[in-house]
Amino acid sequence: MSAHAPANDGKLPDTWRKPPMIANPVLRYTLAVAVLAYVAWAVYMLPFDWERMAEGASRAARIFSGAFPPSFERSGLLIDGFLESLKIAILATVAGVFLSIPIAFMAAKNLAPKPVYFLGRAIIVVARSFHPVIVAIIFVKAVGFGPFAGVLTLIVYSIGFVAKMLAERIEEIDWGQVEAMRAVGAGYLPTIIYAVFPQIMPRQIGLSIYQLDSNLRASAVVGIVGAGGIGSTLANAFGRYDYDFALAITMVIVGAILISEGISGQIRKRIW
């Protein structure tokens, strides 16, 4: 081999370092130190209760031995809870999807005037930022315990997602079709109906199905703070230490979510 080594043999380097991700060494080390300091501080600051943690094992054993076998004795309660969740999800999806349409038009840069655009965006940001459980707890206080608070919560939740995605779709529409409608002298509403709606309809249907699926998931959760549905049943079971019933409910929730995910996936595959 050496017989064929290149002429500048003596000058070839015998060390090599992988170029670092951050080229500036000062920035690199500062960042590394900052990250380490943050981790140390964060772990140190959190009020861990190690004694309680140690007790956890025995309590876990008690809970799990209490949970098996899952009890389907009160299946009436279980079915009622599940059906209520389904109703909440359906109504919230319908209302949420309808309300999303005007909000999406408000929040589309290419169709709405500036002030309206900002209002539309603000509604979406607020709806998206709050976890449904927080929204639920407020609605529960405002309109009382029960499924109505759940429906209102999930309407807000639906708007946060559907209006956002729809607004993005509206911003991507083929503007030529709108101009064509304007050229034949159509007014604002006919233009929207004939030039914009057909372009956003497929997306809207897909989104609705997806949202029905996520609303069903979320409806199981908002119930925990009193907004109706199977979540309320679950929270009650937990509160009364009926772990076998709680496990049965959880199994039903998981099963329902898997089925609904499968169905919505199938439908969307066909439509999209």
Partner 1 sequence: MLKISQLVKRYGNGEPVLKGLDLEVPGESIVAVIGASGAGKSTLLRCINRLVEPTSGTIELNDVTLSSLRGSELRAARRRIGMIFQGFNLVDRLTVMENVQSGRLGYLPTWRAITRRYPRKDIRRAYELMERVGIAHYASKRADELSGGERQRVGVVRALMQEPEILLADEPTASLDPKTSEQIMELLRALSREFSLPVLINIHNVGEAKAYSDRIVGMRFGRIMFDAEPSALDRAAMDEIYAGTPADERAVGGGDETEFKVKTA
Partner 2 sequence: MVGLDATPDEWVRFTPRQRLQRFAIYLVCVAAIVWALTSIDVVWAWVYDAPEQMADLFGRMVPPDTANLSSILWVLLETVNIATIATALSVMVSLPVAYIAAQNTTPNAATLWLGRLILVSSRSVNTIIWALLFVAIFGPGIIAGILAIMFRSIGFIGKLLGEAIEEIDRRPVEALEATGASRFKVILYAIVPQVMPTFWAVSILRWDINLRESTVLGLVGAGGIGLILQGAIDTFNWQEAATVLLAILALVIAGEVVAGTLRRRII
Regarding 16 and contact with partner 1 (CB under 8 A), the answer is yes
Regarding 13 and contact with partner 1 (CB under 8 A), the answer is yes
Cα–Cα separations (whole angstroms), residue 232 to 9, 162, 173, 221? 77, 26, 42, 8
Q: Which is nearer to partner 1, 17 or 114 (CB)?
A: 17
Regarding 101 and contact with partner 2 (CB under 8 A), the answer is no
Backbone φ, ψ for residue 164 (5° rounding): -65, -50
- Alpha carbons 73 and 71: distance in angstroms, whole number: 5
Q: Which is nearer to partner 2, 48 or 68 (CB)?
A: 48
Regarding 270 and contact with partner 1 (CB under 8 A), the answer is no
Considering only 7-15, 52-60, 69-77, 104-112, which stretch makes contact with partner 2 by CB under 8 A? 52-60
Contacted entry of partner 2, partner 1, none for residue 12, CB cut-off 5 to 8 Å set by kind: partner 1
- Alpha carbons 86 and 47: distance in angstroms, whole number: 39
Q: Which of 81, 76, 75, 90 is nearest to 216 (CA)?
A: 90
Q: Which is nearer to partner 2, 90 or 180 (CB)?
A: 90
Regarding 129 and contact with partner 2 (CB under 8 A), the answer is yes
Q: How far is CA 38 from the centre of its chain?
A: 28
Q: Which is nearer to partner 1, 14 or 49 (CB)?
A: 14
Q: 62-78: string of b/e by CB count within 10 Å (b at 16+)? A: ebeeebeebbeebeeeb
Q: Which is nearer to partner 1, 6 or 176 (CB)?
A: 6
Residues 75-94 that bind partner 2 (CB under 8 A): 83-84, 86-88, 90-91, 94
Regarding 14 and contact with partner 1 (CB under 8 A), the answer is yes
Contacted entry of partner 1, partner 2, none for residue 252, CB cut-off 5 to 8 Å set by kind: none
Cβ atoms of residues 220 and 239 within 8 Å? no
Q: Which is nearer to partner 2, 187 or 262 (CB)?
A: 262
Cβ atoms of residues 138 and 82 within 8 Å? no
Is the dihedral angle over the CA atoms 212, 218, 222, 228 positive or is it negative?
A: positive
**Residues at the site binding partner 1, with contacts judged by CB under 8 A:** 1, 4-6, 8-9, 12-19
